[in-house]
């Protein structure tokens, strides 16, 4: 049975060929007059002419524009603050993100900060709650995080080694511009990272301490099966428009919370993996695949029926000789095999993190609640998190 919930996904989706050419008219319809074009530090956007196309669309709609590049994976607070000051100085009233999840998150944070006089980091520290933002238009070139319509923004404070988030409806972008053609030249590694991230986004909602959820479970399993099916085929045919379009929409569905409302969600894998990003600046998708199997093996006994169902419905494992525990473990192994089929790591050793890196990460995890823990399937305190990290090193095997 679903718990009570409220959800409003106010993002306008513009999907298909040449969608990026509509960004000007879409922002103009919202009353914007001057936009910040925000993007990463790669040369693809310049060489492909995409930035010029975006600027031309804005100009034809009567909007002036200013550019700010330099977004890096695990978006930096320092650049966010630079963007906020630029918006204030230039009288900018809209932000256009051109790129993947890091760029979109950076743009969302700039929008929040430019709409207030407070330091934007106050929102991430929980000192204050944002109530307004500049409208953000997200032009996606790297489907992964689903940030184009999610109510979550994540920023990395590089000075404090803290990667924190804000999760509120005000954060959702006003417009998502989705042209799969813009992602067909995306290299293998970021493609694989994106597929891993969207897979985990569904799992964070699917694995729960609650009972079954009817249509939500069926929807979640359908998305997971699609990712498992599309992923290896896309890695073998990176230029496929059809497969890119599937991946682009799967990323959105995985994170806009339409399959997560009304039930307890977990998010422990992200809490653990975000520490790897914050302390070691490892790509987000790689941090997920490096720890997710170990998290599964540690917590599955808290809800073996759910993990067994996952094995059956997502990976088609239906051996009648297997009991619930055997099915659960088979599904976990299949998950790691899926990550490996994408060329992703499944241990901390593969991302260059040793035992000496564990204690600093444990110090900065945001534990919460009266029990000072994380997660839902199983509440995990500092000792539990330490054991999972050590499992991911390969130092021990088995669950709790």
pLDDT tens per residue across span 295-327: 999 999 999 999 999 999 999 999 888 999 999
Model confidence at 400: pLDDT above 80 = no
Give the burial class of 274: count Cβ atoms within 10 A of its Cβ; 0-12 exposed, 13-18 middle, 19 or more buried.
buried
Three-state DSSP state, 345: coil
Model confidence at 392: pLDDT above 90 = yes
Paired strand residues for 15? 178
Q: Which of 346, 224, 358, 352 is closest to 293 using CA atoms?
A: 346
Domains identified in the chain and CATH numbers? 12-183 (3.40.50.1970), 188-393 (1.20.1090.10)
Q: What is the per-residue pLDDT for 398? A: 41
Q: What is the per-residue pLDDT for 104? A: 97
Using CA atoms, how far apart are residues 244 and 254, in angstroms rounded to an integer? 15
Average pLDDT over residues 13-35: 97
Tokens describing residue 379: 């509440």
pLDDT tens per residue across span 61-104: 999 999 999 999 889 999 999 999 999 999 999 999 999 999 99
The pLDDT confidence band at residue 1, using thresholds 50, 70 and 90, is: low
Average pLDDT over residues 207-216: 83
Using CA atoms, how far apart are residues 191 and 108, in angstroms rounded to an integer? 22
User: Can you give the pTM of this predicted structure?
Assistant: 0.89
Tokens describing residue 66: 């200013």
Model confidence at 399: pLDDT above 50 = no
Using CA atoms, how far apart are residues 260 and 220, in angstroms rounded to an integer? 9
């Amino acid at each position: 049975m679903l718990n009570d919930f409220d959800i409003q996904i106010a993002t306008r989706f513009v999907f298909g060929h040449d969608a990026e050419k509509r960004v000007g008219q879409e922002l103009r319809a919202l009353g914007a007059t001057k936009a910040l074009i925000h993007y990463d530090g790669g040369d693809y956007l310049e060489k492909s002419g995409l930035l010029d196309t975006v600027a031309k669309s804005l100009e034809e709609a009567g909007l002036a524009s200013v550019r700010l590049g330099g977004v890096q994976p695990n978006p930096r607070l320092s650049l966010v603050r630079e963007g906020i000051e630029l918006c204030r100085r230039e009288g900018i009233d809209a932000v256009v993100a051109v790129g993947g999840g890091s760029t979109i998150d950076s743009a969302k944070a700039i929008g929040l900060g430019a709409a207030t006089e407070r330091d934007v980091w106050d929102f991430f520290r929980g000192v204050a709650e944002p109530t307004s933002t500049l409208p953000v238009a997200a032009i996606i070139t790297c489907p992964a995080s689903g940030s184009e319509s999610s109510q979550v923004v994540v920023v990395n404070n590089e000075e404090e080694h803290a990667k924190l988030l804000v999760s509120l409806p005000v954060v959702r972008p006003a417009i998502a511009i989705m042209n799969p053609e813009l992602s067909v030249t995306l290299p293998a590694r970021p493609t694989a990272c994106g597929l891993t991230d969207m897979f985990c986004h569904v799992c964070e909602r699917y694995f729960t301490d609650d009972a079954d959820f009817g249509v939500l479970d069926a929807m979640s399993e359908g998305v997971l099966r699609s990712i498992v099916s599309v992923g290896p085929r896309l890695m073998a045919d990176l230029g496929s428009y059809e497969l890119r379009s599937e991946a682009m929409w799967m990323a959105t569905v995985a994170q806009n919370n339409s399959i997560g409302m009304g039930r307890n969600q977990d998010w422990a894998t992200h809490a653990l993996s975000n520490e790897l990003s914050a302390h070691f600046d490892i790509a987000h998708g790689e941090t997920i695949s490096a720890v997710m199997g170990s998290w599964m093996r540690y917590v599955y006994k808290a809800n073996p029926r759910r993990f067994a169902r996952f094995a059956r419905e997502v990976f088609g494992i239906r051996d009648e000789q297997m009991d619930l525990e055997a099915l659960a473990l088979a599904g976990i192994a299949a998950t790691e095999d899926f990550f490996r089929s994408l060329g992703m790591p499944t241990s901390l050793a593969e991302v260059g993190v040793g035992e000496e890196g564990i204690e600093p990460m444990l110090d900065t995890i945001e534990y919460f609640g009266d029990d000072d823990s994380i997660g839902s399937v199983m509440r995990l305190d500092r000792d539990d998190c330490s054991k999972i990290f050590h499992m991911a090193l390969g130092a021990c095997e088995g669950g709790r």
